[in-house]
């Protein structure tokens, strides 16, 4: 029996369930004039599960991506003065900004290329490929011998991280039950700042002149990322392919087997009786989704959601990357903080970013997406404008500046995480990874790549007013994004992915 859907692409309505089917039929395959068709309740079975050790392990093994990104971004900022003092590199502020932009440019291209592959060949293969690229490139960064080589290796590191975002976001969205999806996604994205804390701690130790020399500490710091990545590689060995991806891409038996194993892991027994009560849907299996259909889906059928996702991603990318990539330079150039002390200021900054998703995340599943996205984006923008003004008139010290950042990013961290949540849950399964990649790439390309280079130039001017102008622009972007979310964001809280955006392969 087919599951009937009574909604258009942008209204987010729920599906109408049918019952009376057995668990053994949850991946029944039929043949017809239109090719192979699957009648399945696999999505409903995954969403019906309670939180368990299985889901915790998935979050730990896959969510570590954000820890790695946080580590890389923090090292880039905290090590900026060490790179300028390096006998072999002799970076200027502009070189620092351009190298950071190279990392983000790599993330943009990596997200697009690997995002296309993730939808085509599967989630699991890609989160091993992208992690391997990250490991190799970040280890190579530690061996850089010139500005050009450093920028190249940072570009490749970014490509690995960008690819990770698409494969990992897709997998987590498709394995976590609907009622936990918002908080889980925000918490995972917030773990970026655990990586930031590790990076800051590494910088504190490894940049201490009593421990390492000026051209050794920053190299050892990048080695920290490679070591952490090796641990993650082992943790991922047991993570299964997404059953949702498998059921559409011609592997229904494997999808069913994985779901049964997950249910046994979670409950300790088979759930045949419960499965009889769960809704089913009828899907036409496909090998891949043509790029033309992807484009029509994103820019025609779901164009309103596409504009919302793009606005949120651009605003948060500029806000975060422009400010955080140059955080260390503000402390050293305007407040006279020694490079080996910068890590101590990043730690409380990171704490605010972790606490935001942790304490506010559940509200995205209770008060709802639209309310919380509007609130967090709006408050972040207003606070940034106020803090920027205080900075411009010299009213802040290094300590009060850091305290202000801590408060701002308590709200900005869940706001940024909500952008990733929005673009990963608001589009059909067949194009999910590429949708994440596209909006991440465009948002990061516009807001992220330009941001660090722009702020590097503003800092080189030595003018507080010039830097304030950059902060004010970032604040404006966040307030505009808040207004767009208030008007157009989808109420996806506690709904299955198939209810928020039905698969392209669904048959009425």
pLDDT, tens only, 342-377: 778 878 888 888 899 989 999 999 999 999 999 999
Query: What CA–CA distance (Å, rounded) separates 225 from 274?
Result: 44
Query: What CA–CA distance (Å, rounded) separates 14 from 27?
Result: 21
- 180-216 pLDDT, tens digit per residue, is 998 888 888 888 778 777 777 776 766 666 666 656 7
Q: Which residues contact 184 (CB under 8 A, 6 or more apart)?
A: 55, 59, 172, 176
8-state DSSP, 10: T
8 A C-beta contact, residue 129 and residue 116: no
β-sheet bridge partners, residue 37: 30, 284
pLDDT at 14: 36
Q: What are phi and psi of 296, to 5 degrees?
A: -65, -35
Sign of CA dihedral 225, 230, 235, 236: positive
Distances in Å between the alpha carbon of 480 and those of 310, 378, 405, 417? 12, 8, 20, 17
pLDDT band at 13 (very low <50, low <70, confident <90, very high): very low
**Lowest mean pLDDT across 50-64, 166-180, 321-335:** 321-335
Q: For the purposes of burial, counting CB atoms within 10 Å of the CB of 31, is it exposed (0-12), middle (13-18) or buried (19 or more)?
A: exposed
Query: What CA–CA distance (Å, rounded) separates 369 from 266?
Result: 28
Look at the block and give the residue holding tokens 């890389």: 72
What element of type H or E holds 228?
helix 217-235
What element of type H or E holds 35?
strand 35-40
- 224-241 pLDDT, tens digit per residue, is 777 877 888 888 888 888
Query: What CA–CA distance (Å, rounded) separates 317 from 474?
Result: 9
User: What is the percent of the chain with per-residue pLDDT over 90, rounded to a whole number?
Assistant: 20
**Residue 373 CB-half CA count within 13 A:** 34
Q: In the structure, how many helices (H) and strands (E) does the chain have?
A: 23, 5
101 CA to centre of own chain: 18
First-to-last alpha carbon distance for the chain, in angstroms, is 10
Query: What CA–CA distance (Å, rounded) separates 86 from 133?
Result: 26
8 A C-beta contact, residue 131 and residue 164: yes
Query: What CA–CA distance (Å, rounded) separates 236 from 221?
Result: 24
Pairing state of beta strands 35-40 and 15-16?
unpaired
């Amino acid at each position: 029996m087919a599951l009937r859907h009574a909604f258009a692409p942008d209204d987010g309505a729920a599906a109408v369930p049918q019952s009376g089917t057995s668990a053994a039929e949850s991946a029944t395959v039929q043949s017809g004039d239109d090719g192979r068709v699957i009648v399945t309740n696999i999505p409903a079975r995954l969403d019906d599960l309670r939180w368990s050790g299985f889901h915790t392990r998935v979050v730990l093994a896959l969510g570590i991506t954000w820890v790695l990104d946080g580590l890389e971004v923090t090292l880039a900022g905290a090590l900026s003065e060490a790179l300028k003092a390096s006998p072999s590199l002799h970076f200027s502020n502009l070189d620092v900004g351009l190298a950071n932009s190279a990392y983000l440019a790599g993330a943009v291209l990596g997200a697009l290329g690997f995002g296309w592959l993730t939808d085509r060949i599967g989630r699991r293969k890609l989160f091993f490929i992208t992690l391997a690229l990250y490991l190799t490139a970040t280890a190579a960064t530690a061996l850089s011998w010139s500005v050009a080589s450093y920028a190249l290796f940072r570009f490749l590191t970014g490509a690995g991280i960008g690819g990770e975002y698409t494969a990992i976001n897709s997998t987590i969205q498709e394995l976590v039950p609907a009622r936990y999806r918002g908080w889980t996604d925000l918490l995972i994205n917030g773990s970026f700042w655990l990586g930031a804390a590790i990076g800051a701690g590494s910088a504190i130790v490894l940049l201490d002149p009593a421990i390492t020399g000026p051209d050794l500490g920053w190299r050892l710091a990048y080695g920290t990322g490679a070591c952490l990545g090796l641990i993650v590689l082992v943790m991922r060995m047991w993570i299964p392919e997404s059953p949702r991806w498998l059921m559409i891409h011609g592997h229904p038996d494997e999808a069913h087997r994985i779901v049964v194993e997950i249910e046994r892991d979670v409950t300790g027994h088979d759930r045949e009786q419960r499965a009889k009560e769960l809704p089913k849907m009828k899907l036409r299996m496909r090998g891949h989704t043509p790029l033309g259909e992807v484009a029509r889906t994103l820019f025609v059928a779901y164009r309103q959601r596409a504009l919302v996702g793009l606005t949120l991603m651009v605003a948060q990318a500029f806000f975060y990357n422009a400010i955080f990539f140059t955080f260390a330079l503000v402390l050293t150039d305007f407040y006279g903080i020694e490079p080996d002390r910068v890590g101590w200021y990043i730690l409380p900054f990171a704490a605010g970013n972790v606490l935001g998703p942790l304490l506010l995340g559940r509200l995205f599943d209770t008060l709802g997406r639209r309310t919380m996205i509007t609130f967090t984006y709006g408050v972040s923008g207003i606070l940034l404008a106020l803090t920027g003004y205080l900075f411009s008139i010299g009213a802040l010290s290094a300590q009060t500046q850091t305290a202000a950042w801590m408060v701002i990013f308590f709200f900005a961290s869940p706001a940024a995480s909500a952008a990733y949540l929005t673009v990963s849950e608001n589009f059909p399964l067949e194009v999910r990874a590429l949708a994440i990649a596209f909006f991440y790439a465009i948002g990061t390309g516009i807001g992220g790549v330009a941001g660090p280079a722009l702020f590097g130039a503003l800092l080189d001017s030595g003018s507080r007013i010039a830097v304030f102008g950059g902060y004010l622009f970032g604040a404006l972007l966040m307030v505009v994004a808040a207004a767009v979310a208030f008007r157009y964001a989808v109420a996806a809280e506690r709904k299955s992915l198939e209810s928020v955006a039905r698969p392209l392969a669904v048959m009425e």
